[in-house]
Structure 1
Amino acid sequence: MNNWDDLRFLVALSKTGTMTAAAKSLGTNTATVSRRIERLSETLGQPAFIKTADGWRPSTAISSLIQLAQSFDGQLQSALNEHAGDTEAEAVTINIGCFPILTNLILVPGLTEHQDLLGGVKLTFSDRFFKEGLGDHDLVIQYHRPAQGRIVARKVGTMCYRFCKFRDAPDATEWVGLGEAHDGSTLMRFGHEHFNRPPKVRVDNLTALHGLMQVTRLPGPVPEILVQRDPNLIPISDDMPSQVEECWVFYHESRRNDPGIRRALDWIIRCFDTVPSLETPQHGKI
């Protein structure tokens, strides 16, 4: 490859998976991204990326090149962030991918409670569901330990979920839940078995589900932290199982010495550490 600038396009498409998102991250247009990738494919003599149902994925022909490019990209970003916090003008932006419920209940409150840890760092939050890898995020928080790769991962806490109803609501024969992709989870299985029917209404995330429960007054699965904050929410039965999820944060190993990453990571850890009783041991781990 004679043009090193092509590496930026390679990294952007490998992270985002779509020409449109890659173009947006690079501040260019889709046609330019497509043209650069085609030129790279011609140089290699075979397709650099393969179109799949989930977007564009790097071909085996450039797997090693992707690793080199990502490492270079991470090291370059770390070098640029070296003086993060020296002045307001030098503030760096860290993009965090996370489930909306974790963003809303744990991270957003920490923006005021632990803002002293974010000197020189600006945060951008993006919703992230059922995806692997970092994508175009600097840091990702997800349930369960991420697959091994060129990443640094750390467990930051747990989240417990319970199937609840409103104390002042009449006995229900219906319930509300998450989309079908979640039907294998402990609490969604409980809902199917307890009511002997699928949810009356489904939504794609727990933040929306809590709002739906408030409007319909129907029972459904919610985080334990919401049960603690709302005395009108109670478990639907005493022998109901709970579901405990491990929360992990990870980033690319090339960003290990990035001051912006370190500050954002310390802030995330503090956010989880200062939220009381995210887990209810009496119900047992699933």
Structure 2
Amino acid sequence: MENSNMVWDDVRVFLAVSRSGSLNAAAAALSLGIATVSRRIERLETALGQPLFLRHHTGYRLTDDGSELVARAEEMEAVARSLGAALPSAQEVSGTVRLATAENLATALILPALPRLRLAHPNLVLEVLTDIATVNLHRRDADIALRMVKPDRGNVSLQRLGTLGYGLYAAPAYLERRGAGPVDLDKDEVIAWADSHSHLPAAQWIERVLRGRAPAGLTTSLAAQVAACSAGVGLAVLPHLLATPRGLICLDADLGIDQGIWLVTQSDLLSSRRVKVVAEFLREVVAEARDTLER
């Protein structure tokens, strides 16, 4: 079995899974997400051209090729440990990274996963800036950003991590009150956005379907949209990320207004270890939430 294409990060995950027999246990031991552990095992198997585990409902068991790899992987582990002992500072990440992002991504996606980052890097501080209307990467207001609008200028590096999907949602109480039947946007109550937010794709979609009809209410924040919809005020266009956990019912998941989620990094900070750590953390968080984000 050739090992020239093996990456140490993948081998480290392989050893953790082989020792624990479980993705969950390996993820906990390495302070990684389960999706990241699974992805790295698949990447290693692809690089080697061999399945390394038999997947059972009771856990992961090594194949013959996997068992053969263990000794070589442990040799790599010993070398990595000796290098770490010789260069302890190389493993330490400290300082502050300023992250600009939307309020909904911060509260529903990033902050719930933050303890994992803190556990792995206790000396790293993440400053989360959610007032993205005033945050400007070009002015160095932030080091890195996770946003739904793709920048078209500036000395930045871009990577699309996923999609923020939207749907037309209603509360069970609203549906019970209106009675059975398909959505009728000529009659159903709809929660709209105030004029100050008319640039938003959700606001524009609502304006098109209302065709001049008065809405059930107007808000200036997603939190207020979710609250109004949850209270049964009317239908609302909401991200799946926010609506699904609150028990709201999706009536239409194909509105044509889904948005890309972009990782934006100052180009001259790409080599910064702390920025790279935060960037990888964000990649993992978005990957793990893909089903919820895209529905």
TM-score category, normalised to shorter length? 0.5 to 0.7
Considering fraction of residues, name the structure with more helix.
2
Structure 1 segments unaligned to the other structure (5+ residues): 1-82, 281-286
Please name the residue that 1:183 is paired with: 198
The alignment-based identity, stated in percent, is 13
Of 79, 97, 100, the residue aligned with 1:97 is 100
Q: Partner residue of 1:233?
A: 249
Q: Assess if the C-alpha contact under 8 Å between 1:166 and 1:234 holds in 2.
A: no
| TM superposition shift of 1:221 | 1.3
TM, length-normalised to structure 1: 0.58
CA separation in 1, counterparts of 2:135 and 2:129? 14
| Cross-structure match for 1:265 | 279
Distance 1:107 1:84 in 2: 26
- SS of alignment partner, residue 243 of structure 1: coil
Unaligned runs of 5+ in 2: 1-88, 179-186
The offset of 1:111, in angstroms, is 1.2
Q: Deviations over 1:226-262 (max 9, x none)?
A: 3432444232x58x62421011121222211111101
Question: Within 5 Å, which residues of 2 pair with 1:98-247?
Answer: 98-113=101-116, 115-130=118-133, 133-134=136-137, 135=139, 136-169=141-174, 170-171=177-178, 173-196=188-211, 197-215=213-231, 217-235=233-251, 241-247=255-261
Contact 2:171 2:248 (C-alpha < 8 Å) held by counterparts: yes
In 1, Cα distance between equivalents of 2:208 and 2:153: 35
Looking at structure 1, the residues matched to 90 and 103 of structure 2 have their Cα atoms a distance apart, in angstroms, of 27
1:164–1:222 contact (8 Å) kept in structure 2: yes
CA pair 114-276 structure 1, distance change in 2 beyond 3 A: farther
User: Does the CA-based 8 Å contact 1:179-1:202 persist in structure 2?
Assistant: yes
Is the contact between residue 98 and residue 128 of structure 2 (CA under 8 Å) also seen in structure 1? yes
User: Deviations for 1:175-214, whole angstroms, at most 9, x for unmatched residues?
Assistant: 3233324435443233234344354433333233212322
For residues 108 and 127 of structure 2, the distance between their equivalents in structure 1, rounded to whole angstroms, comes to 16
Matches within 5 A, 1:81-96: 86=92, 91-96=94-99
Matches of 2:110 and 2:250 in 1, distance apart? 25
Deviates more, 1:139-148 or 1:101-110: 139-148
Q: Could you tell me how far apart the structure 2 residues matched to 1:263 and 1:123 are?
A: 11
